[in-house]
Copies of this chain bind each other. A is one copy, B any other.
Amino acid sequence: MKIRHPYLLFLGDAADQLAAKTANGVNVWRPEWCKGQFRLPGCKADLGIPDMNIAQAAKAGVKTVLVGVANRGGIIPPAWEKHLVKACDLGMDIASGLHNRLTDLPKLVAAAKANGRKLFDVRHPDRDFDVGTGIKRKGKRLLTVGTDCSVGKMFTSLALEKELRRRKVKADFRATGQTGIFIAGSGVSIDAVISDFVSGAVEWLAPANDADHWDLIEGQGSLFHASYAGVTLGLIHGSQPDALVVCHEHGRAHMRGLPHYKHPGLKDCIERNIEAAQLTNPKVKCVGVSINTQRVSEKEAIKLLKKTEDQLGLPAVDPMRTGVDAIVDTLR
Contacts and interface: CB of A to CB of B under 8 A. Distances in A.
A260 interface: yes
A224 B260 CA distance: 29
Interface stretch (A31-39, A57-65, A186-194): A186-194
B224 A199 contact: no
B199 A195 contact: no
Contact of A227 (B199, B229, B235, B258): B199
Contacts of A200: 227
A275 B151 CA distance: 23
Contacts of A198: 195, 230-231
Contacts of A231: 195-196, 198, 230, 234
Interface residues of A, number: 37
A286 to B, nearest CB: 18
A331 interface: no
Interface stretch (A128-136, A242-250, A314-322): A128-136
Contact of A193 (B194, B228, B280): B194
Contact of A133 (B226, B229, B234, B279): B226
A232 B276 CA distance: 13
A280 to B, nearest CB: 5
A9 B165 CA distance: 61
Nearest to A200: B227
A280 B232 CA distance: 16
Contact of A280 (B192, B223, B226, B279): B226
Contact of A234 (B192, B194, B195): B195
Nearest to A202: B230
A229 B237 contact: yes
Top 10 nearest A-B pairs (CB, nearest first) are A230-B234, A134-B226, A191-B196, A195-B195, A230-B233, A230-B230, A132-B227, A195-B231, A233-B233, A131-B227
11 contacts: A132-B227, A133-B227, A134-B258, A134-B261, A135-B260, A196-B228, A199-B226, A199-B228, A200-B227, A229-B276, A272-B275
